[in-house]
Amino acid sequence: MELLSSSVLSDDEKSAINRLSAKIRADEKPLARLNNYYEGEQRLRHIGLAVPPELRSFETVINVPGMAVTEPTIRQSLRAFYKAGDSTKEDPALREAWEVNNLDSESTLCHQEEKIFGRTFVTVGANEDDDGHPLIRVEDPRQIGYTVDTRSRRMVEMLRLYRDEDRATRGTLLLPNTTVHVSRGRNGWAVDDRDDHDLGVVAAVLFANRRRGGQFTGRSEMSDVIGMTDGIARMLTNMQVGAEGHALPSYFITGAKKEDFRDRDGKDVPVWESYLTAIKALSNEGAKVWQFQAGDLKNFTDAINNMLAWCAASLGLPTRYAGQQSVNPAAEGAIRADEARLVGRVDAMNRFDGDSWAWVMGLYERFRTGDWPQANSIRVIWRDPATMTTAQIADAAVKMRQVGALSVEGLWDMLGWDEARKRQERERLSAEQVADPIVAATRNLAAGTGNAPVNG
């Protein structure tokens, strides 16, 4: 009887699937629109500009939304996890979890999707092939429907819908104590598998970009520049058409007939050759060629540059990122000042995303050990998002080391070395000390043996 009940959906589970499926369908078009803007695939016919078919090749789109996502994402780099009770070194189990699940690359995907769609999700589940390393997976937010309890700020249900290689619709329903894998057939939803894990929470974490108080949907990082991107696309297309018709000098000819446009062999000159050739020579002596003044496209370029600068200002990016080379700062201090807003925005993103990654690792530890870690015990360390060269970091670290404000381990942390690199350097330093006769003699004297090594 228990087997039968586990193989069918309860009424509450059916209601949850129907409710969350409706949310996925409602979000389909808005999220597809955001995806098109990120990929630079929005077309002018979608933004209200009627382009004749013969001019369709002039359509041009500058992918400012892609820049809005990419620039902060590449500066988000998670360095380490540590437990609140031991902040002197990185937690080895959490580092192993990070590496086994390829999260150096997957975390970048997570931050990217979060900024494109305003949200994304990371799920944690049992690993059938390796019980000691639960699976951490970055989900596609376009496949997800979810509900958050605003009072507790916890997700209470989540559904992932997808199509398999046979184009059959499948889903995964995540509830606080159960994960149900389902497939849709002629008679509705059927249970394929069920995991009654009794976690008490949904085994998924929401990453929400620019979340507002009491809201858990997030906002796309591209939203501030989508309107201006459409305007730039219109302006560029108009400029392309203008360049074709007015930027090159136009000609008009009087006193000529169609027969005059022939080469020395008596063949008609192609229209494009008559149009583009710089020298107008006709066999008819009575014909005259006149030239119109070429149009100046500076009004287009000025407007486009201004709009790109506005986009950069809205995104907190240096204007040189938008092609404004005349304001490119050369000095280190000027570069850091120029990027101050961008760095501040990334720091704010790291604070929110750091909390989410800590919750992900808490779920991981629960699956791995069977016990929940102590509340708020997992902390995240991010690399500095500012533009700094290795030489600049090393110079600052050495100066702090010289005045006694930094340990050797702290210096290595500033350089961004991981635990494997640190272990390697410890072994090398120990080997150098053993091989150095002066260091060995000092060590022996300090130990009271008096057995200093003798050279010669």
Is residue 92 domain-resident?
Answer: yes
Q: CB of 283 within 8 A of CB of 260? A: yes
Average pLDDT, the chain: 82
One domain for residues 118 and 266:
no
Is residue 429 domain-resident?
Answer: no
C-alpha distance across the termini of the chain, in Å? 88
Is residue 176 domain-resident?
Answer: yes
Q: Which two tokens stand for residue 244?
A: 């074709």
pLDDT attached to residue 62? 83
- Give me the number of domains the chain comprises: 2
Q: CB of 250 within 8 A of CB of 291? A: yes
> Region 76-90: what's the mean pLDDT?
82
Listed residues 387, 413, 444: the one ending a domain: 387
One domain for residues 242 and 255:
no
Is residue 415 domain-resident?
Answer: no
One domain for residues 266 and 179:
no
One domain for residues 275 and 196:
no
One domain for residues 142 and 263:
no
One domain for residues 75 and 183:
yes
Listed residues 263, 291, 319: the one ending a domain: 291
At 164-216, the pLDDT tens digits run 888 889 999 999 999 999 999 888 899 999 988 889 999 999 999 999 888 89
Listed residues 387, 420, 448: the one ending a domain: 387
At 232-251, the pLDDT tens digits run 888 888 787 777 766 666 66
> Region 283-294: what's the mean pLDDT?
69
One domain for residues 128 and 270:
no
At 307-364, the pLDDT tens digits run 999 999 999 988 888 777 665 555 667 777 788 899 999 999 999 999 999 999 999 9
Amino acid at 421: R
One domain for residues 37 and 128:
yes
One domain for residues 275 and 241:
no
One domain for residues 151 and 215:
yes
Is residue 413 domain-resident?
Answer: no
One domain for residues 87 and 161:
yes
**Which domain range does residue 135 map to?**
1-247+298-387
More confident of the two residues 424 and 240: 424
CA distance 18 to 2: 24
Given pLDDT bands bounded at 50, 70 and 90, which one contains residue 141? Answer: very high
> Region 383-404: what's the mean pLDDT?
78
> Region 220-240: what's the mean pLDDT?
88
3-class secondary-structure state, position 454: coil
Is residue 282 domain-resident?
Answer: yes
Is residue 425 domain-resident?
Answer: no
One domain for residues 242 and 302:
yes
pTM: 0.79
Is residue 439 domain-resident?
Answer: no
Strands 179-185 and 188-195: antiparallel
